[in-house]
Structure 1
Amino acid sequence: MAEYYLNGTGTPKNVEAAIATYVRAADLGHDGAAKALADHYRFGTSGVTKDLALARKWYQRAMELGEADAIVALGYMAEMGLDGPKDPVEARRLYKLGADRGSGWGAENYAILLQVGKGGAKDEKGAADYMRLAVDRGQTGAMRRLGTYYRDGIGLERDTQMAIAWYRKAADADDSDAMVELGDMTTNGRGMPRDELAGREWYRKAAEAGNGAGMRKLALGLASSEFTGVPSDNPAAIRWYHKLAETDDPEDAAFAADALAEGKAVPMDLKSARKYYEKAVAADVADTARPLVETVLRDNPGEAERAYALKILIERAEKGEGWALAALAHPGPMIDAARLEIDSAAWRAKVAALTDPKVLTDVAKALQSGKLAKQQFGLAVQYAKAASDPSVAKEYQLKLMMDLRLQEAAQRELVRYAETDEFKALPEERRTVFLAQFDTPYMFNFNGDASHIPTFAALANLGMKEAAAKYAWRLLDDGKGDSAAAMKWFVIAAERGSADAQRAIGYLHSKGFGVDKSAVKAVRAWEDAYRRGRAMRH
């Protein structure tokens, strides 16, 4: 009866009467009524005013009456911090309790927390056991996740064919994320023959189901063709970018805006890019205010647009965002061309008075990247030093050396710095990010001679892909050197993502250096090199 009141079925819609009916049924011991009322309060559906405190109250009543999914809902509220602080320990306890009382949703959520070690110890074997239990109870998402467990060997023996089978079962049950996974595996030839056209069709199915990742990958695939014969369709790509921007996820809008503002794979559309950046900025998506300003200034701004861009810059600067402070204190060519009226001296004084290390570091980053702020590596180093972050100061020193085309000196300094206690004391993630900034073809755009081998080897052993490729080339020495050792390092570099190394593998197969001479393997390697290069551009 409560649902009839809510939906106005056979009677005028009456939310108050519906709530009273739910309450009466719950008080009489109907667990489903208590949970349904809690759901309405939690989501604010069917005219019921959203109220998380009341949602919690009625989930607890449903839990007392034995409703397993209500227990899991309370766990979810604890995990997400709904109507209280986040409490992953309590969430984990409630998920397990719900799972042990028969909830497939609880089994799936408990498995996820076991997998990542949230709210307690990490237990991949236990995660796999509970994920299987969730599958047995009909959880579609659990089928996909079980596929990922098989694909990546999480709590189970790695088995690509089992992964594909579970992804297919989930896709057959309309799980669009599973469709995206199948698109990736088909496109990359993982566990099956590589078929980019078939992969695109999986992305299309996911996209048509409203999946943002599917839309992104479909649009990217449609926007540019591969030389393997898969056709491009730019008009369709443009349509999908616009559909992507209209989803409920503002990060999708930012992704579409990036593509339309860049104007490489699809024609530039600055007006649409501005619209989608504004949507992302309104939702506080990180790192979207800056490209919004850039887009406005690039689109032949009139007086109103210039005032709008300046307003955003000032608002963001007053919030302490380093990119905006750098742009106002040290205007770059884009701001100069737009003739924005800025009192740069006053803003430089404000920047000079900064003491927040994070803001100073962000100012330094903006000065080294250029665009809105004038590119000044030397000044960036000074701000980084002021931030008391010697690793950032070293980062900009090396970038200044590269800007001056002193790559060899930069490589030697990078090797030296990597051996210092300062570098070794950095968190692993920071060390990885630091090295990745210099792991580029530009850093290694010369072949060198035998004297460069120790430098290349040292950087290759730090995990740098382009250094590994260059080290391999020196070992190969035009076929006169150690071809087997060269191939070993080319493979390592290719696995790290080096397109240059993948091209080299094709070259070795074409010449028969250290491997069987094979035109087929050469072409395959060159195709992979093309894809790696394209992936890096996106």
Structure 2
Amino acid sequence: MIRSFFPAASLPEQTACVAWGVLLSSAPHPIANADRSRSTRLGTLLLAGLLYAGLLPADALWAEEIKPIILQENTPTGIPSWLYEAANRGTASAQTLLGHFYREGNGIPRNFGEAIRWYRKAAEQGDASAMCSLGQMYGNGEGLLQDYEEMVKWYRKAAEQQDQTAIRLLGDLYSQGLGVAADEREAFRWYRKGAELGDAVAQYQLGSYYREGKGIARDLKSAFDWYRKAAVQGNLESQYWLGYWYAKGEVTAQDYKEAVRWLGKAAEREIPKAQYELGLLYNEGKGVERDRKEAANWLRKAAELGEKRAQCLLASWYERGEVVAQSAAEGVRWYRAAAEQRDATGQYNLGRLYFHGIGVGRNPSEAGKWYYRAAEQGHAEAQLQLAHAYLTGQGVLLDYEEAMRWYRAAAEGGLVEAQHKLGTLYLHGSVVGKDLAEAELWLRKAAAGGNADAKYLLKELHPTAAPKSKEESPVERATPAVVAASGEGKPSGSLAEFRVAAERGESDAQYILGYLYSIGREDLPQDAQEALKWFRRSAAQGNGCAQIRLGCAYLNGDGVSPNNKEAVFWYLKAAEQGRAVAQYLLAKLYADGKGGITRNWGEAVKWYRKSADQGDMDAQYELSDFLLHGKGVTQDEKEGIKWLRKAAKQGHARAQLELGLFYSRGQGVTQDAITAHMWLNLAAAQGMEEAITRRNELAKKMTTTDIAAAQRLAREWDGNRSPAP
């Protein structure tokens, strides 16, 4: 019956039959309802006739819009009788189509075994689609043992017959190294072959290879051309890239209308990054009339599909009440969505909201957690905030080493505020050993970035020098920062003079030459290895400053592998010379017991005391902590408060806070609200939030007169650093 239904016809006539068959089988159509079932049957028979005659490949009938038509015939098995008849009579395309039905279970129970059986029959007759499908089943292990060799074999057989899907899949295999050795050039070859045959996915992959320079030299013009071919066929990723490049004016002339057209196509099909870019165009009114509500609509769609950039932008709009109604809670929600996808911007902003209590209860600990995650990914602002947290112990354990580590990371990332902070910490020696060379290095970077305070501090480091006599040595003419660090000499001489003196064996010149190599300048490129070489030579001759720099290099892994034992070795040498900074650093290593150093609180107390006796305020604070808590020494509250007071008088913020709390509680000292308020106020002025909170709590219990007296004491003390109670 089927054979008699489809008489001999030319190719155009066959094509017309397919079109007429689809038309007759589709609803709604212009044929009257009474004749609809009859016309549907007629259309199905037309399609069946083409298939039976071998003039219509199985994949043509497997299109999503045609599958339902084939399944309209009501049979016990769910498969049209004419399809069974054609398959059993040996029509390869019918056998392949039957394999498709069994493999995917469209309208019938899925049966991999039957799918394989029919695919094999068709493949043995040379049907490329069946060969490709059989290869896929071997690759996926569907109904048989997974076998990559068999997969590759069947793909190759199909590819030999120019099957586009098989050719593209071979490209995938070479790209992924699956069943074959990974080979980008070979992948490129197969993708090109598939692309030239018109496979849209292969065209997209080929465009991507040109874009990324994989398997061939990078060629964005060729990438654009192949993306366009794929985009015209409906490839969504290619449509996105065309739109993106038109918007940015990259690869092709900037054309916002074309950008909107192509991004719109991909966005409508729920490609999140296209929705995000389209939202930006609506927001800016580029290529389309500005419509911020529509922008928010597209951004929300993208955000809901997981586009991290859209989530962050939408969150910022909710936080500020821009475009959308202000809702801090929605801001938190969307920042969290991005943060949980490991987006550093989302993590930083979520931490910020927790820290300030915006849209969520204030929680410094939760803030610290998110700052840390963002900081680990290199987010400079998060690194800075994390450093602040470690410096003040807000949300994390107070840890000066960690604070310095994150300040340095943010500073090296180019954040001017971090460079300024790092420079001031080295300048004042408040949480790290005073190092004027390091201070100058970071303050110069901050000043170059426009930080006014850094410029001022640099002037303080380099006051106008008096004329020098001709007899002065190069070391005596070293810069004030270097001189202050080494403890000798006066401002600077030429590089050549320092080098001659260093080669002659002068330890101070060796140190200064090492310092110059460590920071670099116009006539001397920065060179960590050369710096270490000269520091080492100077240190070997007993130069305490060089010994400290060498110890710091080993501690921080600057130019050498981190080695705390070597750091202890060099710190000890400088400490035994009476260098307060070295004594403090050595004590801290013994106190922390990290990096292979056995914790020894007794040694820590010993060296903290030596440094504290020389006036190092950090050592004074640490010594007070050990005395107050009885670590490595008999607990002695009176002695502990004595050293705490010394550190506080030098401006140590944490010491000021704790001393204020002692006066507030009357612990170890006579209770005195005015003095307590003064110390808490001084600490608060240095940015300690805990001090702000404690000061304000204390003020509620004080009279206006007492508060005024406390504030007057703080002003007088801060103004002239005169002795305080």
Structure 2 length-normalised TM: 0.38
Structure 1 length-normalised TM: 0.48
Q: Per chain length, whose mean CA-contact separation is higher, i.e. which structure has more relative contact order (CA < 8 Å, sep 6+)?
A: 1
